[in-house]
Amino acid sequence: MRSPAKDQVAFVGVGTTGFTRHGSRSALELGLEASTKAILDAGLTADDIDGVVAVGEPGAPSAPQLIAALGLDAVTHVSRPAPVVMNGITDAVAAVFSGACDHVLVCSAMLMLPWASRGAARDPFRSRVPSGSPGIPESIAMAPAYAAWAGRYLYETGASREVFGRVAVNSRTNAAANPLAVLRDPLTLDDYYAARMIREPQCMLDMDIAVDGADAFVLTTTERARDLPHTPVLVHAASLGLIGKNTEDQLPSLARHGQHVVVEALRAKSDLWIDDVDLFYPYDGFTNITVGWFENCGWCGYGEAEDFLRDNWVDDQARLLLRGRVPVNTHGGSLSEGGTRGTGHVREAVTQLRGAAGERQVDGASVALVTPGGFFFNSQGAVLRRDG
């Protein structure tokens, strides 16, 4: 598989608003705060940004709206990819690598939606945000698909819900050290078992937490990145992955779906794999997505995650360290930091690889595997590495 863009494009700027469950700002306000922070973090100005990737979160500002609000001078590449995050990052990498633009801003602004949050439902300004809700109970389109397939996983493998509970507990433990995270109180497996069922077998703690907030990134060529303030974080390999039968209820099986396509592509493009990584950021919009990434990336085989997580659990830290050293979702993931649809995973990986994660910093971290997205139409991944 060709990989001509390997290490040729780098993250140079990161900006975030942090996250809240009590939002009172518009998506444009959130997006502008994250975007300006990311551009300034990169040591750049409005005049340098000539590409804008405006992730199509419901209610989020369009690329032209961002360009106008930021007062950009001249822009030669725009796009509006659907969430999850890597749809925007792979587009940004392609745009920079091809020469469509030199410095590209990727902005993703999340709003709690009225159907998913009582607080959001009380905000009159959100009443016209397009709904992402499935219309009828008897549909497994979108979010409910994960509950349906979580049940299938338990049925096929004989695993217990402990496998999902450990994902939730690990996330919350790590979030305690992340000041951006909305859920930072410790969690135990007993708390997990006691949580309210939503879509049985999934309970509240199997689902990420709806938040308001925005993340933004600036990417440019690795050559230019080396003249900017921060240690560049290189996109070593990146891919999306879908199969034809990607409709949620028609997916042939858990044995081959989008995650498998991602892993095949990354393994073909990347010189680095799980033996080489210092950090692992599997998506956790739902806990069974994370379990899928453990198994499909090859940390363990299908149906083996319950034993694998137990064997790699550090009791006195109440969290995972894979093979005794690789932490998982050091920021707390979407389950605890906030449901950013993967922007949090990418931001934390870049922050760690820069060596700028403060008390969360993993010593000597130089390679991260980031695998956002679920099973159906947004499976995706990247290998990121610190320059040098």
Partner 1 sequence: MTNDTELSDADLVARLPHVHVEHHDAPHHRGWFDRRLLINRCGACGTWHHPPRPMCPACWSWDVEPTPVSGSGTVHLAMLLHQGPPAPDVDYSKGPHPVVTVDLDDAPGVRYTSTVVGVDPSEVVIGLAVELDWIERHGAPFPVFRRA
Q: Which residues pair with 214 in a beta bridge?
A: 109
Q: Which is nearer to partner 1, 125 or 155 (CB)?
A: 155
CB of 141 to partner 1, least distance (A): 9
Contact present, 84 and 380 (Cβ < 8 Å): yes
Number of residues located near partner 1, criterion CB under 8 A: 27
Sheet-wide strand order for 51-54:
77-79, 51-54, 104-110, 213-221, 9-16, 233-241, 379-386, 367-371, 279-282
Q: Does 223 bind partner 1 (CB under 8 A)?
A: no
Q: Which residues pair with 385 in a beta bridge?
A: 234, 367
CB of 90 to partner 1, least distance (A): 25
CB of 195 to partner 1, least distance (A): 11
Q: Which two tokens mark 139?
A: 């549909």
Q: Which is nearer to partner 1, 46 or 195 (CB)?
A: 195
Q: Which residues pair with 10 in a beta bridge?
A: 220, 234
Residue 4 one-letter amino acid: P
Indicate which single residue of 4, 124, 137, 158 sits in contact with partner 1 (rule: CB under 8 A): 137
From the list 7-15, 78-86, 128-136, 260-268, the region that binds partner 1 by CB under 8 A is 128-136
From the list 148-156, 174-182, 218-226, 316-324, the region that binds partner 1 by CB under 8 A is 148-156
Closest CA to 104 of 48, 176, 26: 48
From the list 135-143, 161-169, 279-287, 367-375, the region that binds partner 1 by CB under 8 A is 135-143
Q: Does 133 bind partner 1 (CB under 8 A)?
A: yes
CB of 44 to partner 1, least distance (A): 43
Draw the binding track, 237-266, toward partner 1 (x: CB under 8 A; -: no contact): -------x--x-xx-x--------------
Indicate which single residue of 98, 139, 160, 317 sits in contact with partner 1 (rule: CB under 8 A): 139
Contact present, 11 and 235 (Cβ < 8 Å): yes
Rounded CA separation 291/306 (Å): 9
Over the Cα atoms of the chain, what is R_g? 19
User: 127-165: b or e for each residue (b if 16 or more CB lie within 10 Å)?
Assistant: eebeeeebeeeeebeebbbbbebbeebbeebebebebbb
| Structure-derived torsion over alpha carbons of residues 226, 229, 231, 236, reported in degrees to the nearest 10 | -50
Residue keyed to tokens 């707390």: 332
Q: Which is nearer to partner 1, 204 or 356 (CB)?
A: 204
Q: Which is nearer to partner 1, 101 or 254 (CB)?
A: 254
Q: Does 135 bind partner 1 (CB under 8 A)?
A: yes
Closest CA to 8 of 387, 356, 355, 351: 387
CB of 118 to partner 1, least distance (A): 12
Indicate which single residue of 138, 185, 315, 316 sits in contact with partner 1 (rule: CB under 8 A): 138
Q: Which is nearer to partner 1, 153 or 299 (CB)?
A: 153
Rounded CA separation 95/14 (Å): 18
CB of 199 to partner 1, least distance (A): 5
Q: Does 149 bind partner 1 (CB under 8 A)?
A: yes
CB of 255 to partner 1, least distance (A): 14
Indicate which single residue of 132, 151, 303, 355 sits in contact with partner 1 (rule: CB under 8 A): 151
Rounded CA separation 114/126 (Å): 7
Q: Does 130 bind partner 1 (CB under 8 A)?
A: no
Residue length of the chain: 388
Q: Does 197 bind partner 1 (CB under 8 A)?
A: yes
Helix pair angle (162-175, 287-297), 10° resolution:
100
Q: Does 136 bind partner 1 (CB under 8 A)?
A: yes
CA 353 to chain centre: 16
Q: Does 147 bind partner 1 (CB under 8 A)?
A: yes
Indicate which single residue of 116, 121, 148, 189 sits in contact with partner 1 (rule: CB under 8 A): 148
Q: Which is nearer to partner 1, 94 or 198 (CB)?
A: 198
Q: Which two tokens mark 233?
A: 């974080």
Please report, as ranges, the residues that interact with partner 1 according to CB under 8 A: 133-140, 144, 147-149, 151-152, 155, 196-202, 244, 247, 249-250, 252
